[in-house]
């Protein structure tokens, strides 16, 4: 796999995710009459997705996909700067996407115990993501040592340990976000066909879990590779898919009114009824 393929993959998935985000906002404006807080969060996640594509393009221009023996020290430094930026925007994108999904749970479920679970997830993700952001920014001392190892007295954390911990946490949190709403669906007083459609949407989130596992393998490859410029391609490839499929899955439930308008028999509910529920069902 080449650096060009990784960038093309990232731009393609970002474009698809953007379509879903635009459909989401259209659904909110025309069927609900306003944009909700979870929509704003996913729009911010979309901006970080574009930032991720831009950062790996910087990496590609400066040697990602080439063997390190063919990359000059100047290009390697610029590539590592792009890699540094990509780690930060990737984590920010995931953070906003997961907080958006958790906020959707607040809109969807009214029972106190489920709302407490949703608030706990929001607080936990916010705290964890703040820690992740700080570690990503200050993983080397001084910060410039990340891309310039010739600086005297510099040092970095053990990237292998941190990357594995972070990737493993992403997998666990993805499974939690997939599993948590399943028992809650029983408490919703909506038609059975509509419940099944929501269940199918949440089940699609399982694909994000699979992608996160594949990304973990890519992280292992780059952490153990003596050729990081070449080995980083797979990590960039799967990171983009994970981030953008998370945005897509977060947006799927919100475009139900549009689907009901075009295919009213699919969801077992008339478009105007879907619109009436849209303020309480994400």
pLDDT (tens digit per residue) in 233-246: 988 999 999 999 99
Structure tokens at 136: 């990503």
What's the CA dihedral at 75, 80, 85, 87 to 10 degrees?
140
- Contacts of residue 124, defined as CB under 8 A and 6 or more positions apart, other chains included, come to none
Split at pLDDT 50, 70, 90, the class of 14 is: very high
pLDDT the model gives residue 171: 84
Q: What tokens were used for 76? A: 């390697």
What confidence tens digit (pLDDT) does each residue in 216-262 have? 888 877 777 788 888 889 889 999 999 999 999 889 888 888 877 77
Domains and CATH numbers, the chain: 3-259 (1.20.1070)
- Burial of residue 97, with CB atoms counted within 10 A of its CB: 0-12 exposed, 13-18 middle, 19 or more buried: buried
Alpha-carbon gap, residue 86 to 183, rounded angstroms: 36
How does DSSP classify residue 256? H
Residue 275: band (very low, low, confident or very high) from pLDDT cuts 50, 70, 90: very low
Residue 138: beta bridge partners?
Answer: none
Lowest-confidence pick of 14-18, 68-72, 191-195, 272-276: 272-276
Dist. CA 246–CA 94, nearest whole Å: 7
pLDDT at residue 129 greater than cutoff 60: yes
């Amino acid at each position: 796999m080449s650096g060009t393929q990784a960038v093309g993959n990232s731009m393609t998935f970002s474009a698809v995710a953007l379509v879903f985000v635009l459909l989401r906002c259209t659904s909110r404006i025309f069927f609900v009459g306003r944009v909700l807080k979870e929509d704003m969060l996913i729009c911010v996640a979309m901006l970080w997705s574009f930032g991720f594509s831009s950062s790996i393009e910087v990496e590609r221009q400066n040697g990602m996909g080439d063997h390190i023996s063919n990359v000059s020290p100047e290009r390697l430094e610029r590539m590592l700067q792009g890699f540094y930026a990509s780690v930060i925007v990737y984590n920010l994108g995931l953070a906003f996407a997961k907080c958006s999904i958790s906020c959707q749970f607040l809109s969807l479920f009214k029972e106190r115990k489920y709302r407490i679970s949703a608030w706990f997830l929001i607080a936990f993700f916010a705290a964890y993501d703040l820690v992740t952001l700080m570690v990503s920014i200050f993983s080397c001392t001084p910060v410039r040592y990340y891309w310039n190892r010739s600086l005297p007295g510099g040092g970095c954390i053990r990237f292998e340990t941190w990357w594995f911990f972070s990737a493993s946490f992403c997998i666990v949190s993805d499974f939690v976000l997939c599993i948590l709403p399943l028992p809650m669906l029983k408490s919703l007083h909506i038609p059975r066909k509509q419940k099944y459609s929501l269940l199918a949407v949440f089940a699609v989130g399982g694909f994000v879990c699979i992608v996160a596992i594949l990304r973990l393998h890519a992280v292992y490859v780059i952490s153990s590779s003596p050729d990081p410029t070449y080995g980083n391609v797979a990590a960039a490839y799967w990171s983009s898919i994970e981030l953008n499929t998370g945005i897509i899955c977060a947006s799927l439930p919100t475009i139900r009114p549009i689907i009901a308008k075009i295919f009213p028999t699919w969801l077992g509910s008339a478009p105007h009824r879907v619109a009436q529920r849209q303020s309480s069902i994400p």
